[in-house]
Amino acid sequence: MPAIITVEDLNKHFKVYKHHRGILGPLRNLFSRASSLVRAVDGITFEIKSGELVGYLGPNGAGKSTTLKMLTGLLVPTSGKIIVQDQIPWKNRTNYVAEIGAVFGQRTTLWWDLPVIESLDLLQHIYKIPDDRFQQNLNEFRELLELDTFLNTPVRALSLGQRMRADICAALLHDPKLLFLDEPTIGLDVVAKERIRQFIQHINEERGITVLLTTHDLSDVEKLCKRVMIIDHGKLLYDGKLHLLQEDFGGKRQLIVDFMENYESVSVEGGTITERDGTRMTIHFSSQEITASELINQLSAHYRIRDLEVREPDIETTIRRIYEDRLLEQPE
């Protein structure tokens, strides 16, 4: 598939001027121009193909939102190249934004004092959406996002979950092929999160909409994304399949075994028994040393087994290990 986003050696640098405090601070600030250079995005390169759903991860201050703002045309890069749908985002922005959708979790594109439906009607005229297409999209999104209960409610009176669903609807009314999502589930309850995740998965699979998702909720990534990119201190540290990231950095897998009887001693080669409670045993093992099927065959050859379960390391633990132990950083 062709690339819908091409980024090459992208940089965004900011000058941060030193701020003096104290009684004479304001006066010194007038004459002192000492500054430091912050490399918010530092030479990143990647491609996203049409139809992909990609998670863009990183701790606070890593450069995620800065990247997204450049991709949506809100910021102009210091240097480097961005081509999105054969356009340069910050040039001719009127035409560009008509072909993308964007939702920023902390901001709304809807009119604060207007009912939701009136905001959506205004967007139809702004984007010049034909009546039949507008009505078709609105009816589909009303059902999938369960909008009917608050369509006539002013935006300022919506809960966070309701506003987010309305914002996502608004971002897709004009049939964009590309959707940027910045923290779409932030602050939402479990039910609201799941509804939005299902909708994102639906538009990606059924409509083929390409999605770039930034989030701190790693459950979003685990349930939606096959590919992830990890950024920290402005540098792209990882770009690849989520399951490969888990295999390389996820740590030990777990095999939970329920035996038919309470054996006094159990011998396991290739795994470590970490917990035992009656007939239940937890065994940690590395997939690089032994497979789950090999371990199961070994146990079933010597013991009677009632039930068993293989548990993978969760994505949150994996990502935390990568950040805390700097597992992806290249030596200088």
**Domains of the chain, residue spans:** 3-247, 252-312
pTM of the complete model: 0.79
> What pLDDT is attached to residue 29?
65
Q: What is the pLDDT of residues 1-55, one digit of tens each?
A: 789 999 999 999 988 767 767 776 666 666 666 667 889 999 999 999 999 999 9
- H runs (alpha helix) in the chain: 25-31, 64-71, 93-97, 116-127, 131-145, 160-172, 190-206, 218-224, 242-249, 292-300, 315-325
Q: What is the pLDDT of residues 248-296, one digit of tens each?
A: 776 678 899 999 999 988 888 988 899 999 999 999 888 778 888 999 9
Query: Distance between CA atoms of 78 and 264, rounded to whole angstroms?
Result: 67
> What pLDDT is attached to residue 227?
94
Structure tokens at 242: 């989520």
- How many CB atoms are closer than 10 A to CB 246? 19
CA distances from 91 to 4, 123, 230, 322 (A): 17, 22, 28, 37
- How many CB atoms are closer than 10 A to CB 39? 15
- Judge whether residue 331 has pLDDT over 50: no
Of 143, 178, 145, 181, residue with least CA distance to 163: 145
Query: Distance between CA atoms of 190 and 248, rounded to whole angstroms?
Result: 30
Query: Distance between CA atoms of 151 and 132, rounded to whole angstroms?
Result: 19
How does the average pLDDT of the chain come out, rounded? 88
pLDDT band at 314 (very low <50, low <70, confident <90, very high): low
- What CATH number does domain 3-247 carry, 1.10.1200.10, 3.40.50.300, 3.40.640.10, 3.10.100.10? 3.40.50.300
